[in-house]
Structure 1
């Protein structure tokens, strides 16, 4: 169980705390995957996921918990994320990255009320998404 970590000027709130902790991360991830599962413009990124998104949802919740400054649940359960290595079997190009980011940006818009935080997270997710690309850009 994590200890409470009240925000002070010396110890500002983490993004995890700012979006509502565990419940906020779950809401963000669930909306993200609901969008991916329902938007026709996300069909290519949806196609590289399993038929059921249950496992993907759970793993992303665990990962984002630590990535956003909360409990490092993914590492506790699975070890180092090694994101590129774990995603290498899947063809991730510009299109898949952009579709993933489209769904995440929409979920951020709907779930993160702090505009500055939302923009910071969008930029961080864009860097992460670009890091995950493993297919050459087609000219």
Structure 2
């Protein structure tokens, strides 16, 4: 028996990442701060993009880049105000999803560390949005 060759394999591959993203978007669907950032009525296309991105990042298939090119995460999120509150809401829903996976501690920590760094990286506005803006 050979050891998994990537984080993607170690956590169970596509089913694990699909479950992570599905759980995450269950929270987003009812979040008054995050839900308006998704212009599509159906969150499924956004969920698919995130799942494909995460799978590729962690050593799975390159479907994301094959279909969408370089991730350019900050550029793709630039049209949206990603402030501290949005970051924290995103992390709150992602924390629930990550914890629900029941991953072994080293894998859970590795995944969470990446997601937390990514969330901080995506912040593009430090000042609170004023009601008249």
Unaligned runs of 5+ in 2: 129-133
CA drift at 1:57: 0.6
Following the alignment from structure 1 to structure 2, what is the Cα–Cα distance between the partners of residues 47 and 66?
A: 27
Which of 89, 93, 96 is equivalent to 2:83? 93
> Which residue of structure 2 aligns with residue 3 of structure 1?
none
Distance 1:90 1:135, change over 3 A: same
> Which residue of structure 2 aligns with residue 20 of structure 1?
12
Which of 36, 41, 62 is equivalent to 1:47? 36
Match of 2:32, SS state, is helix
Which digits, 9 at most, give the CA deviation of each residue in 1:37-78, with x for residues without a partner? 13xxx3212221123211101101110111111112111111
> Which residue of structure 2 aligns with residue 57 of structure 1?
47
Match of 1:43, SS state, is coil
User: Are the equivalent residues in 2 in contact too, given 1:19–1:112 (CA < 8 A)?
Assistant: no
CA drift at 1:137: 4.1
Which digits, 9 at most, give the CA deviation of each residue in 1:79-113, with x for residues without a partner? 10000001100000111011111111110100142
> Which residue of structure 2 aligns with residue 82 of structure 1?
72
User: Are the equivalent residues in 2 in contact too, given 1:14–1:68 (CA < 8 A)?
Assistant: yes
Instruction: Detail structure 1 runs of 4+ shifted over 3 Å in the superposition.
Output: none
Unaligned runs of 5+ in 1: 1-5
User: Are the equivalent residues in 2 in contact too, given 1:88–1:134 (CA < 8 A)?
Assistant: yes
Match of 1:69, SS state, is coil
- The RMSD of aligned alpha carbons is 1.5
Q: How many equivalent residue pairs?
A: 126
